[in-house]
Amino acid sequence: MPHLTDRFRLAVAQLDPAVGDVAGNLELARKARAEAAEAGADLVLFTELFIAGYPPEDLVLKPAFVAACMEAVERLAEETADGGPGVVIGCPLRNADGLFNAVAVLDEGRVLTWRSKVDLPNYGEFDEKRVFQAGPMPGPLNYRGLRLGIPVCEDIWGDLGVCETLAESGAEILLVPNGSPFYRGKLDVRHQVVLRQVIETDLPVVYANKVGGQDELLFDGASFAFNADRSLAFQLPQFKTGIFLSDWVQGGEGWRCEGGSVASIPDDDEAVWRALVLGLADYVNKNGFRSVVLGLSGGIDSAICAALAVDALGASRVHCVMLPYRYTAETSLEDAAACAKALGVRYDTVPIADPVEGFLSALGPMFEGTTAGITEENLQSRARGVILMAISNKFGAMVVTTGNKSEMSVGYATLYGDMNGGFNPIKDLYKTEVFCLARWRNENHPDDLLGPAGEVIPERIIVKAPSAELREHQKDEDSLPPYEVLDAILEHLVEHDGGVDELVAQGFDRDTVTHIERLLYIAEYKRRQSAPGTKVTRKNFGRDRRYPITNRFREGG
């Protein structure tokens, strides 16, 4: 094998492995290594738990799964006897000391060594301490004469001193395999984390991150490296897979990347749109659905979900259905049809008067003498949910549900009605963000989106007052504050675990805040039964925010 004394070529495999697909992920690794070999790479860096897919959660508690992963790594190791590039690849490791989130280093036809993650994250979406043991503090390894340090993901985020230990032990460069989920502004956070380690160690750091959706999580790639002098060595694209090469030269002051490329990074709105598109596409495709179906009401939420679905899957795989009742405005019928036409999707109308009236007739004797209200309104939503699920069952299309984060926060959604569905693309978007992104999409069309360019969400949908249209002249703001106010309150309560008094001190009305706080708490039981949706904020419902359903605490009294 060549001795890397003054130059080496590194390939970063920024790919989208699927959780549990050990054979598929092994084949993905083989193809990546072959491509890297063709390009003259000396080493291929894969991402965290690549062979298993990330995060594997409790799959790693199944001995047969871990054994399959480790066997796949052994087979890949045998192939490195061909003299091509070595491999750094993430894989769960079980040995006499326990179960570890580990990295295998492969060369010369064998596994040279394993390195295990030291700092196991146990916050937000991460709960690795419940399945893995912490690894021992690592030292550098000798790879063809080059001394590599391989901290794993959280090892560079925490304060255990993993990187400093590697530097003090003689590491010349740090290669970091990651599974770092996306949220708005996350790339800047990663850059700052890596720069802190560069400053503390005086070593270059290569940060390799995976791409793709896994249930609620979305991984955006955007791998990068910093030289020891804190300059950006290279920046890979966001949301795109590929094998990316970088050339490193040993000079008088250590290793430095030579001529690394710097990809353009999308602005925040484009990044969120791309994250939602990729999250939906991977959920549908990885779970084997041929197509999706959704109710298109003429409102902003269903319109933006339809646009996201077409961008993710193409118009031929998206079916939109209008489900009108007596309270559906003529303008809603027109707007839904216009949206479907702009997107180029199949569009059908299924009136719900007969099923709703059937429910009311069946329940009439029991409801006699009571006042009509929310119960009767919800029958409309539940009739729509039943019809969409029937279409799903008949044609194999997954139902896309369309409730935004503002609605999910305060419980303005109907269980077994509009909450029916397999996936919710906008579950982590507040209503004000929905409006913002709708305007962004009408004005922008990145080339790799599958939907058409131009105005795909009619302007009239964006500007009209939001309404569930469950009764005459109903508007959302009949029972909620304006969305600008509501979302500001919710962001404080949800994203920051803030308090009522703090909001009142900022100028919000106390009665309004305490009302919203109460709605937030009592809607927890609904959120537990809601479809998953792509995380794009720091704190989404489900993985990040785990509040009890039975909960009598109220700060507002």
Q: Give pLDDT tens digits for 341-373.
A: 999 999 999 999 999 999 999 999 999 899 988
pLDDT tens, residue by residue, 377-421: 899 999 999 999 999 999 999 999 999 999 999 998 898 988 999
Domain boundary residue, one of 476, 500, 516: 476
Co-location of 161 and 219 in the same domain: yes
Note the pLDDT of residue 177: 96
Q: Across-strand partners of 174?
A: 149, 205
Let me know if residue 406 belongs to a domain.
Answer: yes
Co-location of 95 and 191 in the same domain: yes
pLDDT tens, residue by residue, 281-310: 999 999 999 999 999 999 999 999 999 999
The answer, yes or no, to whether residue 490 has pLDDT greater than 70, is yes
What average pLDDT is seen over the chain?
Answer: 92
Let me know if residue 278 belongs to a domain.
Answer: yes
How many domains are contained in the chain?
2
Catalytic residue among 69, 91, 153, 163: 153
Q: Quick one: 455 exposed, middle or buried, by C-beta within 10 A (0-12, 13-18, 19+)?
A: middle
Let me know if residue 375 belongs to a domain.
Answer: yes
Output the domain CATH number for residue 434: 3.40.50.620
Note the pLDDT of residue 220: 96
Note the pLDDT of residue 476: 60
Co-location of 106 and 152 in the same domain: yes
The answer, yes or no, to whether residue 155 has pLDDT greater than 70, is yes
Q: Which amino acid is at 353?
A: A
Co-location of 47 and 162 in the same domain: yes
Let me know if residue 543 belongs to a domain.
Answer: no
339 is catalytic: no
Let me know if residue 542 belongs to a domain.
Answer: no
258 is catalytic: no
Q: Where are the alpha helices (DSSP H) in 39-112?
A: 63-79
Sign of the Cα pseudo-torsion (326, 331, 332, 337, in order)? positive
Let me know if residue 329 belongs to a domain.
Answer: yes
pLDDT tens, residue by residue, 11-20: 999 999 999 9
Let me know if residue 198 belongs to a domain.
Answer: yes
Co-location of 195 and 227 in the same domain: yes
**Cα separation of the two ends of the chain:** 71
The answer, yes or no, to whether residue 501 has pLDDT greater than 80, is yes
48 is catalytic: yes
Report the half-sphere exposure of 475 (CA within 13 A, side-chain side). 8
Co-location of 60 and 99 in the same domain: yes
Residues 6+ apart with CB under 8 A from 358: none
Report the half-sphere exposure of 104 (CA within 13 A, side-chain side). 26
pLDDT band at 317 (very low <50, low <70, confident <90, very high): very high
Residues 6+ apart with CB under 8 A from 547: 521, 524
Domain boundary residue, one of 476, 493, 511: 476
Co-location of 279 and 243 in the same domain: no
Co-location of 391 and 298 in the same domain: yes
Question: What share of the chain in percent tops pLDDT 70?
Answer: 97
Structural domain of 390: 269-476
Domain boundary residue, one of 226, 252, 278: 252
Co-location of 246 and 303 in the same domain: no
The answer, yes or no, to whether residue 473 has pLDDT greater than 70, is no
Find the helix or strand (DSSP H, E) in which 111 lies. Answer: strand 110-116
Q: At what angle do helices 374-395 and 353-367 cross, to 10 degrees?
A: 140
Catalytic residue among 48, 128, 172, 491: 48
pLDDT tens, residue by residue, 508-555: 999 999 999 999 999 999 999 999 999 999 888 877 788 888 888 888
Catalytic residue among 91, 117, 339, 427: 117
Let me know if residue 417 belongs to a domain.
Answer: yes
Co-location of 324 and 227 in the same domain: no
Output the domain CATH number for residue 235: 3.60.110.10
Co-location of 274 and 370 in the same domain: yes
pLDDT band at 556 (very low <50, low <70, confident <90, very high): low
